[in-house]
Structure 1
Amino acid sequence: MLYFIPAWYLKNEWKENEQLWHIRRTQTETDDTVKQVQLFQRNHICGYEILLLSHAPNFRHFLHRQSVFRAPYWSVFDAIQGVRRRKQAMFSFHNLNWPRDTEFVYTPFSVIAMLLGEMYANIEFGEYGNPIQVDLYRNGQITRKNIYDDRGFISCTEVYENGKKAYEQYLTEKGVWKLCRFTDGHVAVNPHSSRYLIRTLRGEEEIPFLKNTYTSMEEVIEEVLASWLRTTRQEDIFCAAAHGQHLPLLDRLLENRRTIFSVFQNRLSLKDEKSVQALSRGDCIVTDSEDNLELLLRTGGAEKNTKVNIPPYDTRVDPGISLQLPVQKILFPVDHLAPEDLAEAVKYLAAYLEENKDARVCLFTRNADFGREDAILKQVSESLEKNGYPPEWARKADRSKAEFWLDAEDQIPIMFMVEQCVDELSVSKCVRQQRIFVDLEEPPDLFLQISCVGMGIPQILRSVTQYMRPGRNGRICRDISQLGENLRYYLENLNNWNTAMIQSFELGKTHTTQYLIEQWKEVIDRIGHSKSITAGK
């Protein structure tokens, strides 16, 4: 059996990152573990299970959003809380026990329960319209926050005193509190409900907690996880996302077990000596890119184990629609560019836009924070004005005005626009419209690169990568002053652009789904040494 240990945490807490439906998601849910689970489920590579260490009362909805609803999993908090239910339950806030004379007021964002003219509760909903949280009030101050499990019960309740959080309790399906976690981090066990649930080959076992109080939630998780690990076989393999939240815990518990660590983007600093030492105790390290692999090799400390680059994303031929558009869009990521580099790049981009009136620059950001678009446009506008170009080139489009109402400023075309994309769907929709990809960040965005390969979009980067070969599907731009020359090469010569498109599709053939499957089979067979988990058997 292969066990995936994900890093799906909320700001380094042992909690899920479930959001209210009306709050814009500021970061993507898709990571290496999501893509690995999708790959294993759809292609039946070998038996697997997700090993969930975070409190995730809406985990079924998360799996559904990632198209892996049927994925098998074991949750440490289900074991702690003694939860036996597996299926979701349909329930309405109307079914809760409300005081008599409660009146419900429907707002655009939530439902407010009013009692005797005062707000009694605020009911919040998830992305699927299911109630996930009920905040209770008294005299205008919050007193309690009930967090609902999508299987139809209160999973956790937070108690507030004078408007400040005092403690939180984790409950059983019947509403009996099991653990109480205080604001200083220590955890108390209910003496009248002091057992956790472990499923074994012999059936379910209720095991007593070893202590009445624990210094932290991590200590509780370690005890329960250690008990569960004793039910697994020695030849089982654990594929853990490299993340600082659980790395010390796994370093202690998975000693002498077959372990794969998965490195993804900058989730874990490979310059941290302790982190690299913990990774070195695994049997294999899988990186998402050649850049991370090279960084790992340079840092040393992990010489004994196998290291391999297996991208989390596959390439799929999906030609873009840029040739069907009246403008030539230039995709330009800005999140990790230094302010001075962005200002200099804007100067050379503006110079090219003055030559090519059909070109437009899409300033790409994954940061969906409120005000992020205004901040980028302000910085670009200031750079334009400083270099003698119209600052109005960088502004928001005013869709409220009809064409015959446009004033002098509105008649100036918008040449720089911001594209805020968080999830894979919005990113793919944006990339399909681009004529060329220019990334001056180091390293370049991996998902954007793979998307460009699949859509046949030329790339202009600062260095060679596994998805860009100079002279084939892209060019090197080590000096920002060469930006205009590289743009002219592709945007003013359709033959060069077509050649890059064909070469992109050829390069994509080496990073297909089948390629990823073969890579994972090789890793599993190398460290498995067991017919029971041999990939593809």
Structure 2
Amino acid sequence: MPTWQNELDDWAFAVDRLKFDDAINNLKIFMRNDAQCGVIVSEYVPQLTAQLNEAGLAPEKLLTVFDLIQGVTDPRARQILDLADFNWPRGTWFEYDPFRVVAYHDDQKLAQVIFNARGQILRIERFEHDKHFQDLVMDSRGWLSCLQNYDKQEQLVERVFLDPAGSWRVKERITDGRVFVNPWFAKDFSAAAYQDRQALIDEFLPRLIKQNLDAQQDEVIFTAADQQRARLSFFNGFKTAAVISRWHAFEKFLPRLNDFTGQLVTDSAAVDARVHELLGNERETLLLPIFSAQFHLGHSQEQLEQTILLVVNDLTPAELRAVLSRLLARIDQARFNENLKLVGYDDDRLSRAEELIKELAQDHYPLIMINPTPEQLKPNEDLQDADLTPDMEDLQTAQPIPIYTKRIAQPKDLLTILDSTRVLVDLSMAPDDFIQMAAVSVGVPQINRTVSELVTHQQNGLQTKQISQLDQALDYYLGSMKHWNEALVSSVAMINRYSDEMIMNAWQNLW
């Protein structure tokens, strides 16, 4: 029972960082080991099937509270919605940009259509006299699921939840959270109005449990997070476990575990210590660290070039300048056949890094090129017969030095670039958790300035106290394969300690 909520992001949206979903990871492990498993979703998640498809998941049972509330009789029904399926006024024309489609009528903006990463319509934002007055929110199974209405100040005032036929079932007033039932469907509800959405969920979740689960056969695993809607008491009589993870805020949820008789599972030593601090040392927990099931050992050792991957996310401008100054000098010398790539979550931060590289390279490293095309890396044949100066002849015969930058928008972006990375450098004072975990899972050693649970000094990485020590740390892994192979063995040993088989055995022996 995860804590998934709301819709997927617009595919053009820049994430501030990748987040690991322990529920998805556990589901993948269970399914790879042929365990029968399902998902219970208590919140409104109109893009749920798209989210599962993106994660490569097809659970045997998919139980959602809002399917009951919205009167969905066939949860597996699917259809594809396109722009032509909507009733646009005669004379509407469309303007296509890389991220969305904008509809115009009589030279007025009528709507803009927002898509998810799979090209499905997320929502249609409607406008009147240049004012945003309504959203049409789509269910990824192919029907209009919700209307979001806005006032004259373009503030959200109401959500109207529909059934697949287009009739409204309940309305949620944003100002006070109250929920009102369509009298035509009063027989499906126990009240005409509810104090808030939580009260509505509290009525329908027990129905979902009664209709689909068996306390004698089914075990229920909760994500213990502050946004978890499910009341744990609804599952009395079931074998239950709560997963408390560093990937979710959980401290507000912990008091709900005081009367919880199920098992507690933590995913890191820091989380485990915090749980015992707040709930008492007498509470038993199972510490079960998790590595991402979607990452596999990389192939950088099969390549002659050695890629240094620099994470720019949280470096200050001064730190970024100091790091790039050392890295540019290093790759210019081409000591160990190295190249440089930069990754980050934010386009603006990557653009600033590119401008800084141009500034540093202008006077000292004329061969450096940022994000060149294959054509740009070819020798300039027009200079073959020219009257060249000695300096020009040197430049003509020298190989350009490409530096590539990449915005990380989803895990597969990181997976692709880590597969060919020889060493990861993240010198911010708070290294990115997801990138650290991914690097360990792929077997890439990393260089950091701070201590973390995932990186052990001189085993699967190095901790350097100063940026000035970066060259020495890179020599340690790039000067020969000896230390790099040791780091790979250390990462593999760490992963194997928490292999699918071990995790499955831990879950099976939990109750």
> TM-score w.r.t. structure 2 length?
0.79
Tell me the CA shift for residue 88 of structure 1: 1.1
Q: The residue matched to 1:162 in structure 2 has which SS? A: coil
Of all paired residues, the percent bearing the same amino acid is 21
User: 1:187 — aligned with what?
Assistant: 178
User: 1:306 — aligned with what?
Assistant: 285
The answer to whether 1:66 aligns with 2:45 is no
User: 1:245 — aligned with what?
Assistant: 227
> Given residue 31 of structure 2, which amino acid in structure 1 is its aligned partner?
Q
Match of 1:486 among 473, 478, 483: 473
CA contact (8 A) 1:31 1:264 kept: no
> Given residue 176 of structure 1, which amino acid in structure 2 is its aligned partner?
S
Q: Give the alignment's Cα RMSD to 1 decimal.
A: 4.2
Q: What 5-or-longer segments of structure 1 have no aligned partner?
A: 10-14, 196-205, 527-537
> Given residue 372 of structure 1, which amino acid in structure 2 is its aligned partner?
R
User: 1:320 — aligned with what?
Assistant: 299
Give matches, 1:375-524, under 5 Å.
Answer: 375-376=352-353, 396-397=370-371, 404=380, 418-440=405-427, 445=432, 447-449=434-436, 451-453=438-440, 455-461=442-448, 468-478=455-465, 481-523=468-510
CA distance in 2, matches of 1:491, 1:78: 55
CA distance in 1, matches of 2:322, 2:493: 34
CA distance in 2, matches of 1:420, 1:184: 38
Tell me the CA shift for residue 499 of structure 1: 3.8
User: 2:386 — aligned with what?
Assistant: none
CA distance in 2, matches of 1:251, 1:154: 32
User: 1:89 — aligned with what?
Assistant: 79
CA distance in 1, matches of 2:365, 2:274: 40
Q: The residue matched to 1:134 in structure 2 has which SS? A: strand
CA contact (8 A) 2:446 2:462 kept: yes
Closer, same or farther in 2 for the Cα pair 1:499/1:104, shift >3 Å? same
The answer to whether 1:371 aligns with 2:351 is no
User: 1:330 — aligned with what?
Assistant: 308
CA contact (8 A) 1:360 1:415 kept: yes
CA contact (8 A) 2:168 2:182 kept: no
Closer, same or farther in 2 for the Cα pair 1:361/1:176, shift >3 Å? same
CA contact (8 A) 1:290 1:309 kept: no
> Given residue 167 of structure 1, which amino acid in structure 2 is its aligned partner?
E
> TM-score w.r.t. structure 1 length?
0.75
Q: The residue matched to 1:335 in structure 2 has which SS? A: coil
Give matches, 1:290-301, under 5 Å.
Answer: 290-297=269-276, 301=280
Closer, same or farther in 2 for the Cα pair 1:346/1:297, shift >3 Å? farther
CA contact (8 A) 1:276 1:301 kept: no
User: 1:105 — aligned with what?
Assistant: 94
> Given residue 220 of structure 2, which amino acid in structure 1 is its aligned partner?
F
Closer, same or farther in 2 for the Cα pair 1:19/1:449, shift >3 Å? closer
CA contact (8 A) 1:36 1:312 kept: no
Aligned length: 491
Question: What does the per-residue CA deviation read over 1:51-96, in whole Å, with 9 as the maximum and x for residues that have no partner?
Answer: 1122222222222111113542111111111111222123444233
Tell me the CA shift for residue 311 of structure 1: 0.6
CA contact (8 A) 2:289 2:498 kept: no
Closer, same or farther in 2 for the Cα pair 1:494/1:140, shift >3 Å? closer
User: 1:218 — aligned with what?
Assistant: 198
Tell me the CA shift for residue 20 of structure 1: 3.5
Closer, same or farther in 2 for the Cα pair 1:98/1:417, shift >3 Å? closer
